[in-house]
Amino acid sequence: MSLEIKVPTVGESISEVTIAQWAKADGDYVEMDEVICELESDKATFEVTAEAAGVLHIKAQEGDTLEIGGLLCEIDESQAKEAPAPKKEAPKESKATGEVIEMNVPAVGESINEVTISAWQKADGDTVELDEVIAEIESDKATFDLTAEAGGVLRIIAQEGDTLEIGAPLCKIEVAEGASSAANESAPAAASSAPTASSDSYAAGHASPAAAKILSERGLSPADVNGTGKDGRITKEDALKAEKAAPATKPAASPAPEKKPEIAPPVISSGATREQRREKMSSLRKTVSKRLVSVKNETAMLTTFNEVNMAPIMELRKKYKEQFKEKYEVGLGFMSFFTKACTMALQEWPAVNAMIDGDQIIYSDYCDVSIAVSAPKGLVVPVIRNAESLNFNQIEKEVVRLAMKARDNKLSIEEMQGGTFTITNGGVFGSMMSTPIINAPQSAILGMHNIVERPVAENGQVVIRPMMYVALSYDHRIIDGRESVSFLVRVKQLLEDPTRLLLGV
């Protein structure tokens, strides 16, 4: 009877693998659990073991790419040899030495902070050997095998499905008498304790996936490394040692070149520090993060730009700001000009003031303008209701009122809900240009930026003017290019000739 060996599932996002090499030839006799081939995915390398003893019949060749579940080989169990009874060679009753090795989550990548235990290959209380795969752990980028750091009895601490940070305890190994540990393996005796397995063993001189990766990165060959793992396998520690020892193995050239003076590393001043700290995200920051990512993923967002000559508004403010403040007890800022200009343009281009609800478009005949405010706990966006019906001093007073409540963390939910259009002013922080993200479920947002004196051409002459870049980010599902560009051009016209705002033309 022939047993089919198929490509196993090796990771949630891996759909195909490549046969890197066969450890056995077609027609060879294999023992159960003996490594027969090595598979590679775009994320990691995996070994396939025989699921039964018998004669191997290879169905896919080295270099072939197979999907998960594809046929690798068959094992003819009818030709299985009678297993000689040396296995009864008294199952080594592993006597505990009292030494306990705690295994923690290893560092598996520079930007990976946590991993999930996808499967334990051994059960709690099982006897394991040094370098034997005991678990499979997953990160958001790849899957990794966890090997035992010593021989002995496994005591599991974390369960399958648990998500742990780097360095968190995974399990303990009660070291058995006579069993070797990773610490012992790294002792000088490694030279004399070269693989005890016969030289024709597949494992002898074969690098584990982690070791192979290190060797390839350092330009070393497995033949240059003395494996100290089970049956002579090259472990990760062997590869790391070889990397350090490699320069010493290079024979010095007979005419020793003149030594160049070594450059000493910089001396860090006593006040310098490399400490880090972690802080839990506030619920506001979490909500803002989810909403922004959702908008980027769920809308067809584009941004169009223009520039505004701010000289007319600045001259108007300079001329009337004292009288305005004396009469209305509030300063005359830029927000009232921009808000009025936007509300007039929104009424002319209603799609920019609309929003999508399922398969319907909601058009509003009013303009509830949201203004982005930087508060101590993060960005908040309170709403100026019916901004189209407010005059300059009413808008300025509402901006001040909402901004003060935001900075005191006293805004109510009602004051932040709704809104049909948003204005954000990154210019107060010095931003020259940006692409603001839409404030869902709205369909557009206007970004203001800093005012910089730049040379511009007017009537064939180069003159210096205070210029501001303005950006309109919009959802292309509901707003076409004609509406978005025309809206921004209309805002530019109103700002560069503020008398239009008063006359409504």
Q: Give catalytic residue positions.
A: 476, 480
Residue for token pair 């006040």: 271
Q: What gap in Å lies between CA 151 and CA 145, rounded to an integer?
A: 17
Q: Phi/psi of residue 211, each to 5°?
A: -65, -40
Q: Which pair of tokens denotes residue 393?
A: 């001093």
Q: Which pair of tokens denotes residue 20?
A: 């890197």
Reported as type and span, the H/E element at residue 97 is strand 96-104
Q: What gap in Å lies between CA 321 and CA 327, rounded to an integer?
A: 10
CB 16, CB 60: distance < 8 Å: no
- Distances in Å between the Cα of 401 and the Cα atoms of 66, 252, 504 are 65, 78, 27
Q: What gap in Å lies between CA 17 and CA 152, rounded to an integer?
A: 33
Q: Which pair of tokens denotes residue 460?
A: 């064939």
Which residues, 6+ apart, have CB-to-CB distance to 237 below 8 Å? Answer: 182, 185, 186, 228
CB 140, CB 155: distance < 8 Å: no
Cβ of 316: how many Cβ atoms within 10 Å?
16
Q: What gap in Å lies between CA 324 and CA 329, rounded to an integer?
A: 8
The amino acid at 289: S
Length of the chain in terms of residues written:
505
∠ Cα 343 346 350 (to 5°): 150
Task: Name residue 468's beta-bridge partners.
Answer: 308, 451
Taking every pair of Cα atoms in the chain, the longest distance, rounded to a whole number of angstroms, is: 106
Q: What gap in Å lies between CA 46 and CA 10, rounded to an integer?
A: 8
- Distances in Å between the Cα of 215 and the Cα atoms of 22, 219, 238, 458 are 20, 6, 10, 66
Q: Which pair of tokens denotes residue 96?
A: 């505990």
Q: Phi/psi of residue 275, each to 5°?
A: -75, 155
